[in-house]
């Protein structure tokens, strides 16, 4: 079980930005800017149960990536709580890092190593012994259709192959929570489908999966729950069915646009 409550993160603005903001019409200044601070995430809350897939939505710059980086322990929250199976992520980030699988937009591979060598390396970093590592590699490579390029060096791979390999290194240690930041962005149809099928394989397991996306058809296909963030706050938090019910047609695009434009928070 993953629980996120009242998450906040702010960054100090540089002097140049502060001076420029003073010259602007206050109607066009970002609502998240407050004096010397930029409140990237102002109040984000949601939960994701074991075996559930949660889709994180929002316009560009809404605070999705910052929220996911806090979930992964890459960023320390300014305020708020993150709990995994009752344990406090914020209080013990180093220990909890072993229990999280996080794919960011900057996750990468060692180019001179093969895919197999990369995944083995990260598995060993997490303390896996060789027998369990070999078994898990077989399983993950099956699910992500990696065997055909498993022994190719990373710098020779296509974009889709690299992303599948990145996901393999993200989950090789059997994390308790999987967090994926826009895992299918820029991929061809076949690679994207492989990754979506991989995410779907977690449904009904004991692992919550959170992934951000701009592709609403992915949400409709995979998600049990939906969270929409805008201007650093949760605008919607509830089931996929409740999200669709906000539009008479059940069209996800219509719901997304209406929530972003109205900025009315809804929790279901």
The rounded distance, in Å, linking the Cα atoms of 26 and 44 is 25
Sign, CA torsion 177/69/97/154: positive
177 touches 99 (CB < 8 A) = yes
Count of other CB atoms within 10 angstroms of residue 125: 12
Are the beta carbons of 161 and 215 closer than 8 angstroms? no
Structure tokens at 55: 């889709």
Go through the domains of the chain in sequence order and give each one's CATH number. 2-99+177-267 (3.40.50.300), 108-174 (no CATH)
| Cα angle value 258/262/268 (rounded, 5°) | 75
Distances, alpha carbon 6 to alpha carbons 21, 98, 218, in Å: 27, 24, 27
Q: What backbone torsions phi and psi does residue 51 show, to the nearest 5 degrees?
A: 75, 5
Instruction: Report the relative pairing of strands 37-48 and 209-212 from DSSP bridges.
Output: unpaired
What's the predicted TM-score (pTM) here?
0.91
- pLDDT in single tens digits along all 268 residues of the chain: 999 999 999 998 888 776 776 666 655 667 788 888 899 999 999 999 999 999 999 999 999 999 999 999 999 999 999 999 999 999 999 999 999 999 998 888 999 999 999 999 999 999 999 999 999 999 999 999 999 999 999 999 999 999 999 999 999 999 999 999 999 999 999 999 999 999 999 999 999 999 999 999 999 999 999 999 999 999 999 999 999 999 988 999 999 999 998 866 677 6
Separation CA 265–CA 90 (nearest Å): 26
């Amino acid at each position: 079980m993953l629980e996120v409550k009242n998450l906040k993160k702010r960054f100090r603005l540089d002097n140049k930005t502060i001076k420029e903001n003073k010259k602007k019409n206050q109607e066009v200044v970002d609502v998240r800017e407050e004096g010397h601070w930029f409140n990237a995430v102002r109040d984000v809350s949601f939960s994701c149960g074991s075996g559930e897939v949660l889709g994180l939505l929002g316009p560009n710059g809404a605070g999705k990536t910052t929220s996911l980086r806090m979930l992964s322990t890459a960023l320390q929250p300014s305020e708020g709580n993150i709990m995994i199976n009752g344990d406090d992520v914020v209080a013990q980030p180093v220990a909890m890092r072993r229990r999280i699988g996080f794919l960011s937009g900057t996750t990468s591979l060692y180019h001179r190593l093969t895919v197999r060598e990369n995944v083995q390396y990260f598995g060993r970093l997490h303390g896996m012994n060789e027998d369990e590592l070999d078994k898990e590699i077989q399983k993950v490579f099956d699910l992500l259709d990696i065997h055909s390029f498993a022994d190719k060096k990373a710098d020779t791979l296509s974009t889709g192959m690299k992303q599948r390999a990145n996901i393999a290194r993200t989950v090789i240690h059997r994390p308790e929570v999987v967090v994926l930041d826009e895992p299918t962005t820029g991929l061809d149809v076949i690679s994207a489908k492989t990754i979506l099928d991989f995410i779907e394989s977690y449904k009904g397991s004991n692992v919550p999966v959170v992934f951000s996306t701009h592709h609403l058809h992915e949400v409709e296909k995979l998600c049990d729950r939906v969270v929409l963030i805008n201007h650093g706050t949760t605008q919607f938090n509830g089931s996929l069915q409740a999200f669709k019910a906000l539009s008479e047609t059940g069209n996800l695009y219509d719901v997304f646009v209406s929530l972003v434009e109205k900025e009315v928070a809804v929790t279901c």
